[in-house]
């Protein structure tokens, strides 16, 4: 294990914590920290014309990535992008319908559709993403690390087969039961695609990467390992874990995955994201200190009165119990109508409560 830096501050606090090295306080960043709750985001989104256009324009995506770290003393920036860029580059025809979310014009329905898929070249069909990463790194100037990300193979497959978001995942689970070989082939293609995509982000300058397994928690226990955990393990195994001699930590986050934390720790990742439904103390015990933990304030706490919000933040910090290996975050993303002042209060409370001398 290589120390990314001798001084623990905003420039490397996150990287040290993900590697379970001592820090002066738990680093803090928030999922969807660059988003619709910020007025500057909404203004830029209106000017861009569409969310997809904003993601695909490196100048705009860079600006949105930087907005929250300019406003708040966050310990990381996370790339402005979308998990569905990979299937879009496979030719499925991604659109975003206002008020309804993403849709694919050409969803996957059977093994013949799977056979027509290809692994996109991240420096060709997805070139705007590594271009954005390089631009963000230049603009950050070492202020804080940049996190790259992708959806997990299973989560991408759910959207590709359903054609949009779903409440019951009947189409993708129908494929699982009726033609498991076709689903396995789809996940293998997606594992290769996600690996190449994340490696491109690392090559371009991402200092940590995260795999969002948003829908892994919808699977039955015996299916989770085969269709969600194992494809993520294949991705982690294929990643370039060092750049310029410095480790690039990998975070895996399965929403609703509290029951599978020991199995998720076996993917080879450096850290696990924990949602608000699992206590950090329980997660720490279940994983035996093998990985760092990231989380896990209930996002709805950001609507609480200030004193209650501070108490909830303190409860999360106390639940982890001190020591190395904690990244403070929400258990999911910031909601669009949250008051930015509440986000600032959350971050300030983490810093005020948790600062400690280094050994």
In this structure, the chain runs to a length of 359
- The CA–CA distances, whole Å, from 201 to 36, 71, 81, 280 equal 24, 25, 12, 30
78: Cα separation from own chain's centroid: 8
DSSP conformational letter for 91? I
291 in Cβ contact with 284 (< 8 Å): no
Whole-number Å distance between alpha carbons of 190 and 194: 6
Angle, helices 230-238/153-162, rounded to nearest 10 degrees: 120
Element (H, E) at 171: helix 170-178
37 in Cβ contact with 343 (< 8 Å): yes
The two three-digit tokens of residue 187, written as one number: 């996940």
Residues acting as catalytic residues: 32, 36, 45, 82, 159
Nearest 10 degrees: CA dihedral of 256, 90, 167, 95? 120
| β-strand partners of 47 | none
Q: With CA atoms as reference, report the closest residue to 264 among 242, 290, 241, 239.
A: 290
Within 13 Å and on the Cβ side, how many CA atoms surround 318?
Answer: 7
| β-strand partners of 273 | 253, 294
Sign, Cα dihedral of 305, 23, 12, 241:
negative
- The CA–CA distances, whole Å, from 44 to 81, 96, 228 equal 14, 17, 35
The two three-digit tokens of residue 68, written as one number: 């929250």
- The CA–CA distances, whole Å, from 258 to 199, 231, 291 equal 27, 18, 14
The two three-digit tokens of residue 101, written as one number: 């979310």
């Amino acid at each position: 294990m290589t120390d990314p830096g001798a001084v623990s501050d905003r420039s490397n606090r996150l990287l040290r914590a993900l590697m379970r090295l001592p820090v002066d306080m738990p680093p803090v960043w928030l999922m969807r920290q660059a988003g619709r709750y910020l007025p500057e985001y909404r203004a830029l989104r209106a000017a861009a014309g569409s969310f997809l256009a904003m993601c695909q324009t490196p100048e705009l995506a860079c600006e949105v990535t930087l907005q929250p770290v300019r406003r708040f003393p966050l310990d990381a920036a996370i790339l402005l992008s979308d998990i569905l860029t990979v299937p879009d580059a496979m030719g499925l025809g991604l659109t975003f319908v206002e008020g309804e979310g993403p849709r694919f014009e050409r969803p996957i329905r059977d093994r013949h559709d799977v056979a027509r898929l290809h692994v996109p070249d991240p420096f060709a069909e997805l070139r705007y993403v590594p271009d954005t990463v390089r631009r963000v790194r230049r603009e950050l100037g070492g202020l804080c690390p940049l996190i790259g990300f992708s959806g997990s193979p299973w989560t991408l497959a759910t959207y590709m087969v359903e054609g949009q978001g779903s409440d019951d995942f009947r189409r993708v689970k129908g494929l699982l039961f009726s033609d498991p070989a076709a689903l396995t082939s789809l996940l293998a293609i997606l594992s290769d695609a996600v690996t190449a995509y994340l490696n491109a982000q690392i090559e371009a300058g991402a200092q940590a990467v995260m795999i969002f397994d948003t829908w892994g928690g919808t699977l039955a226990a015996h299916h989770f390992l085969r269709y969600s955990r194992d494809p993520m393990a294949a991705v982690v195994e294929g990643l370039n874990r060092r750049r310029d001699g410095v480790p690039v930590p990998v975070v895996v986050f399965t929403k609703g995955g509290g029951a599978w934390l020991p199995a998720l720790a076996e993917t080879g990742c450096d850290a696990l994201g924990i949602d608000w439904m699992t206590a950090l103390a329980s997660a720490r015990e279940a994983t035996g200190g093998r990985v760092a933990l990231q989380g896990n304030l209930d996002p709805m706490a950001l609507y609480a009165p200030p004193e209650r919000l501070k108490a909830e933040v303190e409860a999360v910090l106390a639940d982890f119990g001190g020591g190395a290996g904690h990244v403070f975050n929400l258990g999911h993303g910031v909601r669009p109508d949250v008051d930015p002042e509440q986000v600032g209060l959350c971050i300030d409370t983490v810093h005020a409560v948790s600062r400690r001398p280094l050994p």
